[in-house]
Structure 1
Amino acid sequence: MSQTLIEQEATEFRQKCVDFMEEHAAAQGKAMPGIDDQKAFLAAAAGAGLAGVPFDEEFGGGGLTLEHDKIWREVQGNYRMMTGEFIISHGMCLPMLNEYGTDEQKKMYMADNISGKTMWCQMFSEPGAGSDVASLQSKAELDGDEWILNGQKVWTTLAHKSDYGIVVARTDPEQVKHAGISMFILDMRAPGVEIRPIHQIDGGSHFNEVFFTDVRIPKDHLLGGYNEGWKLATAMLMYERVAIGSAGAGKINQPTFKLLKSAAEESGRIDDPVVRDQLMQIYSMETTKAMVAMRNKAEQKAGKTPGPGGSLGKLFGSNIAWKMREIALELAGPSSIAWDPEDGDGGERQRIVLNSFQSSIAGGTDEIQRNIIGDRVLGLPREPSVDKGVPFKDLKVGTQSS
């Protein structure tokens, strides 16, 4: 009897999700929703109890189970992605607040994050600390009831549109490089924060440089423990790889295959056996990636950091992007990367091809993902480390001269 009730509840919840998406997503048609549209969608979802489904109601969530969340993601997978710009805000910052934030921090920030009232970014990489994030030189020093932050970050996605960010900084240079780091919640509009957009090949500015000059952060905005930033940074990177690798993975889907199939039909090459073989390779790769992503989501415990398996989906997504770019260039030539501004779709396909280059860098390079998979998934020996046990102040990294 209880199983019947559970099935009935699941059916009713699924219908609720469908009804909501029909009202708030189907009306968008094929148009790519802008930030304002995405915020309106999230506000409506929060009002319906469909935003932050598995998070506590006390902190603005839906207070439901992971099974409810799975159903919600499956239903969303049948429509155009409505919250693509919030992948960092919701896929990385929100679970970090939920897992490591104090009750006061959760009450202050989670509800607005969930409802889209605020957008968040992540600030890890620096000019001298990209793949080796632990070599970061931005520093935070305690001054009474405030931390004073100085330094620079780079490749910060959507910093120019974000209200808050999560930043890691050096808090004890006497410690080895992984040990003397802490994580903070930062108001992106605080005095001393300067954001400079980076102009991209597709004409947009999705990434930014961020400079900190004597930025004051309240003492209680430390996220997690003092000098525990590397542990938290590792956790956040795990969330990031799952978020990137499982984007749109509420169900088995093949968006890149559909994009290329449409291009092949328009170019009259859909019956070319070589092209059909290439399309089926993409179809198989995307199907496999979606299945891996769904497994990662299923294995992720409520409120717990995901494991290193997220690197599998992240790396495979990069492989798909590289393969997609090769096929697109064969099918459409220069028109796969260039477009007339007067075109109705605004160059959406071309932007996808151009932006595919970032897939092997953003969220950790392909090389880093392979190291993680080899070390933490397959159990292979780690690479030699020349800075083990050396205090950070004695390392020759970044702009340090000694």
Structure 2
Amino acid sequence: MDFNDSLEEAAFRAEARTWLAAHAPAHELPVGAKMPDTEEADRGRAWMRELYAGGWSGLTFPKALGGRGLSGIEAVIFAEEEGKYHLPKGPFTSIGTGMALPVIAKHGNDEQRARFIEATLKGDITWCQLFSEPAAGSDLAGLRTKAVRADDGSGDWIVNGQKVWSSWAHLTDWGILVVRTDPTVPKHKGLTFFVVDMKTLGIETRPIRQISGASEFNETFLTDVRIPDANRLGAEGEGWACCMTVLMSERLGSGAHRSGIEPLLDFAAATPDGHGGTMLDDRSIRQQFAEALAEEQGERFFQARLRTMVSKGENPGALAGMVKLAYASRYQKTNGLALELRGLAGIAPEAGDTATGNVQYDYIYSTVMRIAGGADEVLRNQIAERVLGMPGEVRMDKDVPFEKLKG
């Protein structure tokens, strides 16, 4: 596989760089700035509108749905160039473009695709993910939020339950929701997938204060929430297949386009070593950088391989988990290295040292990535069993109806 740009790809990259140079700087977030989440959300919407207006949003979606009908490789090239700017592209925007739209595109009907895809690309609709629960995180199929048909003949569903770790749920417009609709079958088979308006009566979000000081995660309570059957994606009982589409997209996109080494090199070059030079002059530091860079490049090339599979209509399956597993480990390791470079300042930076403050935040947040989108241990099990063909763990609940499982 050739990882260098073809002539056509090089021309596309140059076009993307030119457009981004003209439009991205006005939307970049100030380095070290702390802002209300409402302002960050507004900035995210503004950047999505800019992308859409410039023809750079939803590159792989058909033109009829607001995209450009381009290949996956071109989308990767643009994302690589976009990743060079510090833009408002966190979960507030990426859950919509990277999770909601892939599952709607694959499992939704024509009416749902027409309703949600272009509006999301424009920034008119933002999304949250309503998957994890207090007792169903790594074992998502053990979720207990349930939906039953309304008894008034409308065909609507009545949902009751609780979700947790719902990023930006307090500010987003819609949610992708998986619930249990049939407890009489094994846990993976009785799930159904919906999209839900977050302003629906009976939905309550409670922000969770995190160790970083931010509150982007939420508890979400659903009490007698009525959802029209028209908001169901896929058939009743096909919720697990929809979840796998979402999780594959999330894992395949983990750390895809922003280098963790380039800013680290700049950070080391700006950190004195106490002997008249910088930390970049230290041989052991350069060795660690070289190892981290090799890991990053290997992951980038492997990711390109999997994206090529997707562009050909193939399903990477558990291979996508390898991308997320590698990225989460590397992200934590490189941020830890950055703190070590700062010495005591890494523990107690001086006032105004926003660079170190940002690294501290990233290091704290890096622990999240070892769990979000699939815990390390779960991904290792999947890779061992489905990629390497090793014997599976004994699962006593595999063929047991969910209602007969002990809580």
TM-score normalized by the length of structure 1: 0.88
Query: CA separation of 1:147/1:285 partners in 2, compared to 1, >3 Å: closer, same or farther?
Result: same
Instruction: State the match for 2:50 in structure 1.
Output: 44
What is the 5 A alignment of 1:3-402?
A: 13-28=12-27, 31=30, 34-85=40-91, 86-143=93-150, 144-246=154-256, 248=257, 254-256=259-261, 258-259=263-264, 262-263=267-268, 265-268=270-273, 269-301=279-311, 306-333=316-343, 335-336=345-346, 343-344=353-354, 347-397=357-407
Deviation of residue 378 (structure 1)? 1.2
Cα distance in 2 for partners of 1:57, 1:337 equals: 50
Deviates more, 1:21-30 or 1:201-210: 21-30
Relative distance call for 1:90 and 1:340 in structure 2 (3 A) is: farther
Q: Secondary structure at the match of 2:225?
A: strand
Kindly state the Cα deviation for residue 146 of structure 1 after the two structures are TM-superposed: 1.2
Mapped partners of 1:311, 1:276: distance in 2: 29
Q: Deviations over 1:357-392 (max 9, x none)?
A: 111111111001101111111111111110122111
Amino acid at match of 1:26: P
Residue ranges of structure 2 left out of the alignment (5+ in a row)? 1-5, 34-39, 274-278
Q: Secondary structure at the match of 1:148?
A: strand
Q: Secondary structure at the match of 2:97?
A: helix
CA distance in 2, matches of 1:363, 1:339: 32
| CA distance in structure 1 between the partners assigned to 2:261 and 2:225 by the alignment | 42
Residue deviations 1:25-76, cap 9 Å, x none?
1345673693322322221221222100110122222233334324423432
Match of 1:381, SS state, is coil
Letter in 2 for 1:65: S
Local SS of the residue matching 2:158: strand
> Which stretches of structure 1, 4 residues or longer, exceed 6 Å deviation after superposition?
none
Cα RMSD for the two superposed structures: 2.4
The amino acid of 1:41's aligned partner reads W
Q: How much identity, in percent, do the aligned residues show?
A: 38
1:245, 1:311 within 8 Å by CA — same for their partners in 2?
no
- The letter for the 2-side match of 1:361 is I
- How far residue 301 of structure 1 moved from its aligned partner, in angstroms, is 2.5
Alpha-carbon distance in structure 2 between the residues aligned to 1:318 and 1:241? 10
In structure 1, stretches of 5+ residues that fail to align are: 1-6, 398-402
Using the alignment, how far apart are the partners of 1:326 and 1:349 within structure 2? 8
Q: Secondary structure at the match of 1:375?
A: helix
Q: Helix, strand or coil: the match of 2:55? A: coil
C-alpha distance in structure 1 between counterparts of 2:141 and 2:348, whole Å: 38
